[in-house]
Chain A
Amino acid sequence: MAAAKTRTSSFSRNLSAAAPSQGPGLKCGPNGTVFLSSGISDLDKILGGGFPLGSLVMVMEDAEAPHHMLLLRNFMSQGLVHNQPLLYASPAIDPRGFLGTLPSPAASKDEKSHKHDPDQEKGLRIAWQYKKYFGESQLNFDGQRDGKHEYSNEFDLRKPLERHFLSAQRVDCVSIQDSPNLSALQDRSATFLSQYPRNDGSISCAGRIAIQSFSAPQCAYSNMEWDMLSFIRSLKSMVRSSNAVALITFPPSLLSPSFCKRWQHMADTLLSVKAIPDEDKELSQLLTGYQDMVGFLNVHKVARINTQVPVILDATTFSIKLQKRRFLVLECLNQAPVDGSSGTSYGTSGSCSGSSKTGNLDF
Chain B
Amino acid sequence: MAESICRALRDGALEGEHAPALTIKDSIASPFGFHVFCHVLSQLSSFILAGKSQSGGLVVVSFSRSPSFYLELLKNKGIDVVSSDKRIQILDCYSDPLGWKDRLIEAGNFTALSHEASNSSTANVLKDVKHMDKLYNSIVERGKGLIGGGKNRFSVAIDSVDEMSRHASTSSVAGLLSNLRSHDQVSSIFWLLHSDLHEARVAAVLEYLSSMVTSLEPLHQPANGHRGDLENLSLIEHNLKKGKFHVRIKRRNGRVRVMSEEVHIEQSGISFTSLSSEGAINQGLVPKVQFSLELSEKERIDRANVVLPFEHQGNGKPIQIYDGRRSLADSKHERQVAATEKVQTNEDSGGGEIIYFRDSDDEMPDSDEDPDDDLDI
Contacts and interface: CB of A to CB of B under 8 A. Distances in A.
A319 B253 CA distance: 14
Interface in B189-214: 201, 204-205, 207-209
A19 to B, nearest CB: 39
B290 A253 contact: no
B254 A65 contact: yes
B256 A65 contact: yes
Contacts of B248: 64
A276 B256 contact: yes
A254 B205 contact: yes
A142 interface: no
Interface string A257-289: 000000000000000000111111110000000
Contacts of B178: 91, 216-218
Contacts of A38: none
Contacts of A33: none
A342 B290 contact: yes
A237 interface: no
B113 interface: no
A114 B258 CA distance: 39
Contacts of B170: 217, 223
Interface in B264-318: 284, 287-290
Contacts of A277: 255-258
Interface stretch (A1-9, A73-81, A333-341): A333-341
B46 interface: no
Contact of B182 (A92, A223, A345): A92
A177 interface: yes
B205 A64 contact: no
Contacts of A91: 178
Contacts, number: 94
A39 interface: no
A217 to B, nearest CB: 4
B212 to A, nearest CB: 11
A242 B182 CA distance: 36
A218 B175 contact: yes
A103 interface: no
A338 B287 contact: yes
B13 to A, nearest CB: 14
A207 interface: no
A282 B256 contact: no
B288 A278 contact: no
A222 interface: yes
11 contacts: A63-B208, A218-B175, A218-B178, A220-B175, A277-B255, A320-B254, A340-B289, A341-B289, A342-B288, A342-B289, A342-B290
Given A93-B179, A279-B257, A294-B254, 20 more contacts: A63-B207, A65-B254, A67-B254, A101-B16, A217-B171, A217-B174, A217-B178, A218-B171, A220-B175, A254-B204, A276-B256, A277-B257, A277-B258, A278-B251, A278-B255, A295-B254, A320-B254, A338-B287, A339-B288, A342-B288
